[in-house]
Structure formats: structure tokens, C-alpha cells
Amino acid sequence: MSLVPDWLAHRAAATPARAAVRLGERRWTFAELDRAVSALAAWLQSEGVRQGSSVGLLAWNSLAAAVAIHAVPRAGGVLVPLNARLTADDLAWQLRDSGASLLLFDDANAALGEAAARTAGVLARRLPDLDALHEAAFPPPRFRLDAPHSIVYTSGTTGRPKGVVLTFANHLWSAVGSAFNLGLIGDDVWLACLPFFHVGGLSILLRGVLYGIEVSIHEGFDAGRVNRDIDEGGATIVSVVATMLRRLLDARCDAPYPPSLRCILVGGGPVPRDLLERCARMGAPVVQTYGLTEAASQVCTLPPEDALRKLGSAGKPIFPTEVRVVDEAGEPCAPGEPGEIWVRGPTVMAGYHRQPEATAEKLRGEWLATGDVGYLDDEGYLYVLDRREDLIVTGGENVAPAEIERVLCEHPAVAGAAAVGLPDPEWGQRVAAAVELRPGAEVSPQELLELCRHRLAGYKLPREIRIVAELPKTASGKVVRRLVREQWLSAP
Amino acid sequence: MSLVPDWLAHRAAATPARAAVRLGERRWTFAELDRAVSALAAWLQSEGVRQGSSVGLLAWNSLAAAVAIHAVPRAGGVLVPLNARLTADDLAWQLRDSGASLLLFDDANAALGEAAARTAGVLARRLPDLDALHEAAFPPPRFRLDAPHSIVYTSGTTGRPKGVVLTFANHLWSAVGSAFNLGLIGDDVWLACLPFFHVGGLSILLRGVLYGIEVSIHEGFDAGRVNRDIDEGGATIVSVVATMLRRLLDARCDAPYPPSLRCILVGGGPVPRDLLERCARMGAPVVQTYGLTEAASQVCTLPPEDALRKLGSAGKPIFPTEVRVVDEAGEPCAPGEPGEIWVRGPTVMAGYHRQPEATAEKLRGEWLATGDVGYLDDEGYLYVLDRREDLIVTGGENVAPAEIERVLCEHPAVAGAAAVGLPDPEWGQRVAAAVELRPGAEVSPQELLELCRHRLAGYKLPREIRIVAELPKTASGKVVRRLVREQWLSAP
């Protein structure tokens, strides 16, 4: 079996009148979404999109962006969602790398999109006004499960971004695993405040159609709006990263969420203890997750009941994904022993677009070598320590930056921290840490160092601690240690 | 991708403490079920089961039967669930046909099983006492998705039963489609009163493990017990056939079910109007379904909100299954025009075991020609009329037995009806109908014929109506028209 019907078309036939997407006051049923997608797919073909054409999409979250995301595969194209926070040069590079024949942009990204498309020599088109599109009878295609659905560029914490080729099967299995794990209720409303240009946001749209549930689209992250959508709009699941979660709780002074909110899916790194404790006190249903673009988002999740008992863990793999932690020789590590996290299963990417060497380095037989470091405890719970390239090696000892950052973040004045290795003539690397404070809070580097002394082994102690105005972060809110390190080296 | 981890082992690792199965007062978690399955799998291998061995299972629903159903694939075997209502000769034929090397039977079927195994020359073993099994560390295998999971013999309303080869992928996709359609809640309890030897019962056990929900096993159908399990035991989904549903409602005098019951999945033929109206009055959430063994159970479902608006319809196909209705030339029929129902998708069987000709007749390219007759209305809802072999042809006109039966069943005294074609020198066939009355009810054939005269075209009118004590039914409660016809012919 390798062909399945167009997901949205099948869903629109099965439950045409159910709510599919909404943004603010505007709400579409699956039948309405399907009609708009057919119209846009016809328009895409009139703009030259053919079977296998790559189509760039440079847009903030919107109804039009959601329609485009479903229309590209219907028209036979491969979706290339582009990060609207990048420069025109970065975008031009990704357009060329993906072989895109067309770039779609929204109003807010018109100048950026046109500049990038000009540099890349690619046709650029403003996303058409959905209300002005001609209705078109568009026979829905069948999707080949092993064909590429999208090329998603990784946030790129190291080096040039790589285009992760995700097939229809990758996305479909990801949706299956998530449903078998988190459950799926007809009345679910999944709140999408993560950008659609990352796999965490994109996958919400795809799940929405497969599950037949509503996706509440947020143009960006606004803590007040997200809280309101949960309190009054009936959102039942929300996907966030830890920094967003903190802002959500801050904005409501830890007032409990209504019982209709059944899952806060938190990705992008471990959730700090104090935040988990706040959530536990409020009864907030936090599901921590470990995922990566190369595995079409979720790999492991930790249910709320284990949140404090397994503090800092990402939980267990979701079906049918399997996880192991291996040593340098690729042999499984003993429980508690750190190594590289490997992932196996049908959500693992087809490879990196046009990068056979990088692909060969990541895909080892059936396994994806994630480049992340972690360990499994004796009950099989995964603990993610760090990205392998962020590991600090000082005097021959491995130091996980996350461990130091967790200690620093325990201080009430600290909003975020990044530990990095700086070149050291004696030890190879020495530990250094940059710290971002909460608005109005104060603390001295000496006081933070004292905290560390009580909690960390000597070789792990930061030799320098700097207070910075803001830590560099990715679009999804992850601190980019590489940039912290570069800033430090350029201004020692 | 073609390998996935053992479903139960993966589930037991993810949620070991969740309730997996219960029967009466006994309840097992997934960890406990997994341990029992490992122990039984080790025992099966000690009894000679090897990769690809067919293993017959002759048992009523029980915990031991559930364990065996999961243990056979873990041990590498192919499950052959056998209908405990058959004769020893029938069973021997199926054992030989499936190439079984071992037959497992429960206490209640000991004599039958031993007789069948003796005739077939197959090793027979009583299902071991689960508490006496030695715990065994059994490394869970990976399942090849395209490998056979089970050979399920069709109830056989016509001719010799055929062994439907269902792969792991067939069952897995069936579970995916059902979840994407009905939803899936962590607290779900799926009540299994359909026998595990039919695909309708078997699939509940497989879904339970994939979804991580509890299966409440009933040894058989007892209306009082099923009602009690829904009212007090927290069962949220129950799979039945229409006759069971009627008995359930009769037994509770149409008292409403608690809101915890979220789905009554009714298969095995259309639900009569009066029953649907009773359900609507009680607010009972009836989901009608059309399915068949050859497609690993559910193909289409009709949600409760459409139950009366689309009376008699089986609804829309569940993802990613597709349905069409075709004429003799295999071309799609117009809306409303009856033809043969064809089904396409990953739940369609690999074929009939050792019956290449029957397989070729049923599998036409990607499509399964079901042999059932029906039509799609202008909104794409499927209406199943009849099995093709039951179609009555009189004077060149096709008459769907179901249409006549529906009219007869509108009479308050009628519990069930079967219309058949009898040989007729003038018309080829003439319509005849056998009717089973409700306990204590009375009605004359003349009165029933009057009812038909008001509702049916002349050529569809039964020339004879007989009142019978009981209509012959399959194990799952479907009336077997072939037997009605045979009885009539043998006693005209």
C-alpha cells in the first residue's frame, strides 16, 4: 500500500460541516477549507506548479497560510515553509537549495520575499486574497506515502540549515503516534501559536485534518490572547515551548486553567523545575515532549502524572517510534549512562535535501542519529541532556550545558541561561555562562556562582558568568548556545 | 518502512500501569498483560510454534483467549481464530486449510477441539492456566507490516468458508481509521461482547493495545450484563449487531444510558427504523457501520447526528479507505443507482488463504469487490442493500431482499424477516419471505402481505410468507438467507 486519498478531501467528504480552522472571529468548516484549497491549488497550477515542484511559503500564521499549506500538496507540489525571521540572503539560499520554482509570501513579508526571490531567481507571488479566488472543481489527488510532502529547514543552531525531507508517511505516522498517545476527542481544538514554518506548528495543521478537529490559528504568540483562547475559546490542546509556558502563567498569575484544557504540549527542551511545580499547583496538564524536525516532531512524551516524579525527562517514545541511547561504537548504553539519542520508526525523515553526506551521517541503517545527548533511566524514561555539538569538554570531562543552566535557572532572578565552552589553553575548554534576568530583577554573578558551588561538581563550575540583556534565541524560543559563544569570543 | 515494534510490548513500556483488560472482577494492567503474553509466547514456542506457524484458537471470549491472541504473533505465529459454533468437521477443514500446526482450545471446547484436531491430524493443547505459567523474559519481536497477522474464516453465508489473510498493516490501519473517526479517549473502555473469532471482536483487542485503553471482555452476549457494564462499569464504547441492540434496549425498557457511553457501534447490517427511533428518543449514541472481514472490519460509519436523516445508511468511509459503487463493467454508478460495493485502501486483505481463484475474483487491482450490493446517495452516503448472492431476480427485475425485510419489520409483531428467491418456472425466481415474531406477538401472513402491498411494487411482493419459530443466524447475529432458502426448498 502506498497511496492514500488527499487527507483534506477525504475529511471534507466525511465531516463537511465540522469546524476546521479559525482565526479570531473567522471560522471555516472542512467543506469551506476544502473549497478554498481547491481554488488555490488550481491557481498554483496556473502559476506553473507541477507534480514535484517545490513551493516556498514565507508567511506568518494565517488562514491563507493554512490554505496554502494544504493546497501545495493538492496541486502536486512539495511545500517549503520558510522562516520569516531570516534574512533575504538566508531565504534565497534556502529557495535555491530546495529547487523552488515559486515563492508565496504574505503582505507582512512582501519586501523580504521579493528580495529573496530576486536573489534566488525564483518567481514570487503574493498569496492571493482567498475571497477573490475563483472556485474551481479540483479533482483531489492521491498521495504517495513515500513521496516528499515538505522540505523543512532546521532552525540551524550549527552551520548552514539543512532541508529535512519529510514524506507523507512521516507526517501521517506522526499524527497516528500522537493520537494513540494523547488521545483524540471530536471536540478538540488545537491552538497553533507556534509558527507553521517549524515542524511543531506545521504538524498541528496536518493533524487537524486527519483527526477532524479544529485548529485555532494564532498569528503569533501573545500570552494574553492564548490565555483568552483557552479560557473562553475552548482550546483543548496547546503546543508551546517552555519560555512561552512561563509567559502564559505569568500573564494569568497562575490562575488555574479550565478543565477543557486537556494538554499543554511543551517541546524545545526540558521544562525547568519551578515551572513544573507551578503547573502542578495549578493542575495544568503539562505534557513534555522531545522531538525534532528530522522525526516529523514528537518522538517522546512525558504525561502530566510523571512530570514531577520524572523531573526533566522527556518520557517514553510514542508508537511506533523506538529510541535508544548509544555509545561511540553505536552500542546501547547502560541505564543512566549518557550517549547519543537514536530514533527509529516511520516518522524518520527520508534524508536531507541534496546533502548525501549529511544524510549518511544522520541515517545509520534504520536509525536516525539525532546528535542529541541523553540517557535512559532504569524504567526506560528518556532524559535529553544537550545537543552533541553543545557538549563542553573540559579537562577530558564531558559537561552538559543543560545541567549548569538548570542550576542557574533555579535562582528567582534568572529568566534564562546558556552555558558554553570557551577555548582554554590548559583545559581545552572552560565553562562559561551567560544569564538573562527577569525584568526588574537583580543578582550578581558572584551570588550565582555561589549557587553553582553548592550544586555542581568542581569541574562543571562556570569560570565566568555574564549578565546579558537578552540571550539569542531561535524562532521557536530555544537559546542558541552557538551564538552565545560567538558573542563571547567576539567581545571577550 | 515495514517493521514496527510488538504493539503490546511498546504499549506496556509506555503506560505499564494503565488498565488493559478486565473480565468480571479480574483486571490486568498492560504490564501484567504483557508478562502473561510473554509467558504464553515462550510456552507456544516450546510447543513447536515457529515463525509463520499457523495456530488455531478455539475459545469463547476470556482473559486466556485475549492473552493467546497477543501471544501468537509474539511467538512468530499466525493466529487462526475459530468459530466455536461450528462442527468438528468444519473446524477440521479450517485447521487443514490454514495449515495449522497447533490448536489451542479452552475448557468449554475441549471435546470439540480434540475431535477436530484428531480429524485434521493437528496437535491440540488446552490453553494453559495463566497463573501457572512460568514467567519468561521474552524479547518482543518486531512485526513486519506486510506479514500475515491472522487468517480469519468468513462466517460463510455461501459455500465453503474462505480464510481471509489479514496483515499487521490491515489491522493497524483499521485501528487508525477508527480512531481518526470515532476519537479516542484515555479513559475509554471498549466492551467486547462480540466473539474474538470474528473480526469485529478480534479488532477490539488489537485497538485496545494500540490505543492504550481498557477492553472489558464478556464471555458472550448477555443483555443484562452488558447493560450493567455500561451503567456501572464505565464502558464507553460497545460493539454490537442490531439484534443485540434491540435486546439491550428491551432489557432496560429504553431507560437512557449514562453519558459515559459515547458510542454504540452497530455492524452486521442496517438498523431497523423503529430501533433507531427508540435510540434517538433515549439519546443513545448509535454509530452504524458497514464492514467486512476482507477489510479488517469497519469500512464506513454513520454518526449519530445522521442516524435518522440518513436512515438505513452506513455512512462515509473512514480514513484512508475509499468506497465506490460500480456496475457490471466496473464503472462507477450514478448517485442512487445500485451496484456492487468496491473498497480500496490499506485495510483490504492480502487475499484468501490458498484460494488464488477466489482471491482474483475479489481483488481487482487495488479494489476489493465486496460482493455486497448498495448505492451512494448524492451526498456520498453509502446504503448497503444486500449481499450480491442474495439478490433475487424475478422476471428480469432485481429485487433487494433487504427492502422487503425492512417493510415486514415495520410491523410491531415482527422480530426479523428474511426474503429469498425460490425457483419459479415462469419468472425464474419468485419472492418468498420467512418471518420471526416477537415473543407472544401474533400476526397472520395475510396481514403482513397487506402491509407489503401498500409499500412495495407488485413484482417485489412476496408470493408466500411463512411464520417461523426462529430464523437461522450466524454467530454474529446476521440472518443467513441461504439457510432460509434451503429450509424452504427441503420443506416446501
**Tens-place pLDDT, residues B339-397:** 999 999 999 999 999 999 999 999 999 999 998 989 999 999 999 887 767 878 777 66
- Return all residues near B401 (Cβ < 8 A) that are at least 6 apart: B386, B390, B391, B392, B418, B419, B420, B481
Q: What is the mean pLDDT of chain A?
A: 92
Q: Choose the closest CB to B210 out of A10, A14, A319.
A: A319
Q: CA dist B283 to A112, A185, B132, B235, B425, Å? A: 56, 19, 46, 16, 50
CA–CA separation, A108 and A85 (whole Å): 12
Query: B14, A317: Cβ pair inside 8 Å?
Result: yes
The pLDDT of residue A387 is: 72
**Cβ contacts of B5 on chain A, cutoff 8 Å:** 319-320, 322
Q: Residue A316: which of B3, B14, B183 has the nearest Cβ?
A: B14
The answer to whether the peptide bond before residue A5 is cis (omega within 30 degrees of 0) is no
Q: In angstroms, what CA-CA distances link B155 with B268, B392, B398? A: 11, 21, 25
Lowest mean pLDDT among A208-212, A457-461, B436-440: A457-461
Contact B5 A183 (CB under 8 A): no
Of B127, B119, B102, nearest to B50 by C-alpha is: B102
Whether pLDDT at A158 is above 50: no
Average pLDDT value for residue range A326-331: 88
Across the beta sheet with A54-58, what order do the strands follow? A123-126, A100-105, A54-58, A78-82, A148-153, A163-167, A351-352
Query: Are the Cβ atoms of A11 and B181 closer than 8 angstroms?
Result: no
Q: Which residues of B touch A185 (CB under 8 A)?
A: 183, 185
pLDDT for the residue A406: 87
Domains and CATH numbers, chain A: 3-144 (3.40.50.980), 175-388 (3.40.50.12780), 391-490 (3.30.300.30)
Q: What is residue B187's DSSP assignment?
A: T
pLDDT band at B406; cut points 50, 70, 90: confident
Cβ–Cβ < 8 Å for B394, B428 = yes
Indicate the average pLDDT of chain B. Answer: 92
Sort out which chain A residues have CB atoms less than 8 A from B140's CB and list them.
none
Residue of chain A whose Cα is closest to the Cα of B211: A180
Provide mean pLDDT across the span B258-275. Answer: 88
Q: What is the pLDDT of residue B388?
A: 67
CB contact under 8 A, B319 and A183: no
Nearest chain A Cα distance for residue B226, angstroms: 24
**Which residue among B183, B210, B303 sits closest to A180, beta carbon to beta carbon?**
B210
Instruction: Evaluate whether A133 touches A39 at the Cβ level (below 8 Å).
Output: yes
Range scoring the smallest mean pLDDT among A180-194, A315-329, B69-83, B398-412: B398-412
Residue of B5, B15, B366 with shortest CB distance to A320: B5
Would you call the peptide bond into A81 cis, given omega within 30 degrees of 0 as the criterion? no
With a cut of 80, say whether residue A475 has pLDDT above it: no
Percent residues over pLDDT 70 in chain B? 97
- Cβ–Cβ below 8 Å for B14 and A181: yes
pLDDT of residue B222 exceeding 90, the answer is yes
The mean per-residue pLDDT over the stretch A431-455 comes to 93
Which chain B residues touch A15 with a CB distance below 8 Å? 303
Q: Angle A76-B183-B322 (CA atoms, 0-180°, nearest 5)?
A: 40
**CB B183 to CB A180 under 8 A?**
no
Selecting from A7, A210, A316 the residue whose C-beta is nearest the C-beta of B13 gives: A316
pLDDT at A68: 98
Most confident of A385-399, A475-489, B13-27: B13-27
A86: Cα separation from own chain's centroid: 16
User: Is A330 exposed, middle or buried (CB count within 10 Å of its CB: 0-12, 13-18, 19+)?
Assistant: middle
In whole angstroms, give the CA distance from residue B209 to residue B11.
6
Q: Determine which of A3, A309, A319 to mutate to test the interface with B (most B C-beta atoms within 10 Å).
A: A319
Cβ contact (<8 Å) for B318 and A183?
Answer: no
Contacts of A298 in chain B (CB under 8 A): none
Q: Which of A176, A303, A319 sits opposite B10 (nearest CB)?
A: A319
Q: Which of B18, B142, B180, B290 is the best substitution to test chain A (most A C-beta atoms within 10 A)? A: B180
Residue A282 and residue A265 in contact, taking contact as beta carbons nearer than 8 Å: no
Highest mean pLDDT: which of A308-317, B70-79, B263-272?
B70-79
Question: Minimal CA–CA distance to B192: which of B361, B63, B3?
Answer: B63
CB contact under 8 A, A14 and B179: no
pLDDT for res A134: 86
List of chain A residues whose C-beta atoms are within 8 Å of the C-beta of residue B310: none
Supply the pLDDT for residue B157: 43
Amino acid B345: pLDDT: 97
Residues of B with CB under 8 A from a CB of A: 1, 3-5, 7, 10-11, 13-15, 169, 173, 176, 179-181, 183-186, 210-212, 303, 316-320, 322, 345-346, 366, 380
More confident: B160 or B102: B102
**Cell numbers at residue A233, please?**
475559546
CA nearest to A319 within chain B:
B10
Interface contact flag, B179 A181, Cβ < 8 Å? no
The C-alpha atoms of residue A39 and residue A71 are separated, in whole angstroms, by 8
- Report whether B83 contacts B149 (CB < 8 A): no
Contacts of A179 in chain B (CB under 8 A): 179-180, 184
Per the structure block, which three cell numbers stand in for A303?
504525561
Q: Are the CB atoms for B342 and B388 separated by under 8 Å? A: no
Give the pLDDT score at A159.
54
Q: Do A267 and A287 contact (CB within 8 A), yes or no?
A: no
Contact A4 B179 (CB under 8 A): no
Give the torsion sign (CA, B25, B31, B35, B41): positive
Report the gap between the CA of B274 and the closest CA in chain A (Å).
26
For the segment B262-268, the average pLDDT, to the nearest whole number, is 92
How far does the CA of residue B248 sit from the closest CA of chain A (Å)?
Answer: 26
User: pLDDT confidence of A389, banded at 50, 70, 90?
Assistant: confident
CA distances from B239 to A40, B210, B218, B405 (A): 42, 17, 11, 23
Is A476's pLDDT higher than 90? Answer: no
pLDDT in tens, A6-47: 999 999 999 999 999 999 899 999 999 999 999 999 999 999
pLDDT of A155: 57
DSSP symbols for A306-353: GTTTTTT--BEEPTT-EEEEE-TTSPBPPTT--EEEEEESTTS-SEET
Q: In what side-by-side order are the strands of the sheet with B414-424?
A: B414-424, B428-437, B464-468
Q: What is the DSSP string of B12-23?
A: HHHSTTSEEEEE
Closest B-chain CA to A10? B319
Please check the confidence at residue B213 and state whether its pLDDT lies above 60: yes
Out of B4, B316, B366, whose CB is closest to A13? B316
Q: Which residues of A touch B11 (CB under 8 A)?
A: 319
Whole-number pLDDT of residue B62: 97
**Contact check, Cβ <8 Å, A179/B184:** yes
Please compute the mean of the pLDDT values over residues A192-203 and round it to a whole number: 96
User: What's the pLDDT score for residue B128?
Assistant: 94
Low-confidence winner among A132-136, B193-197, B372-376, B412-416 (lowest mean pLDDT): A132-136
Residue of chain A whose alpha carbon sits nearest to that of B169? A1
Mean per-residue pLDDT, B317-344: 93
Q: Do A169 and B320 touch (CB under 8 A)?
A: no
Q: pLDDT grade, residue B274 (50/70/90)?
A: confident
Q: Which of A3, A183, A211 sits opposite B180 (nearest CB)?
A: A211
Predicted pLDDT of residue B271: 80
Q: Do B7 and A319 touch (CB under 8 A)?
A: yes
Chain-chain contact of B179 with A179 (C-beta, under 8 angstroms): yes
CB B139 within 8 A of CB B159: no
What pLDDT is stored for residue B476 in this prediction? 64
- Residue A489 and residue B224: Cα distance in Å, rounded? 77
What's the pLDDT at A327? 87
Residues in chain B with CB shorter than 8 Å from the CB of A181 are 14, 212
Best mutation target among B319, B348, B363, B381 (most A Cβ atoms within 10 Å) is B319
Of A10, A322, A346, nearest to B320 by CB-CB distance is A10
The A-side interface with B (CB below 8 A) comprises 1, 3-5, 7, 10-11, 13-15, 169, 173, 176, 179-181, 183-186, 210-212, 303, 316-320, 322, 345-346, 366, 380
- Residue in the block written with cell 426448498: B489
Q: Rounded distance, CA A300 to CA A323, Å? A: 8
The average pLDDT across A257-262 equals: 97
Model confidence pLDDT, tens digit, residues A45-101: 999 999 999 999 999 999 999 999 999 999 999 999 999 988 898 899 999 999 999
- Contact (CB<8Å) B4/A210: no
Q: Tell me how close the Cα of A176 comes to any Cα of chain B, in angstroms.
A: 7
Residues in chain B: 492
Q: Which residues on chain A are in Cβ contact (under 8 Å) with B366?
A: 3
Best mutation site among A180, A318, A324, A348 for testing chain B: the one with the most B CBs within 10 Å? A180
A322-326/A339-344 β-pairing: antiparallel
Residue B155, pLDDT score: 57
What band does A482 get if pLDDT is binned at 50, 70 and 90? Answer: confident
Residues A210-226 have a mean pLDDT of: 97
Percentage of chain A beyond pLDDT 70 is 97
CA angle B314, B319, B322 (to 5 degrees): 65
| Chain B residue closest in CA terms to A302 | B14
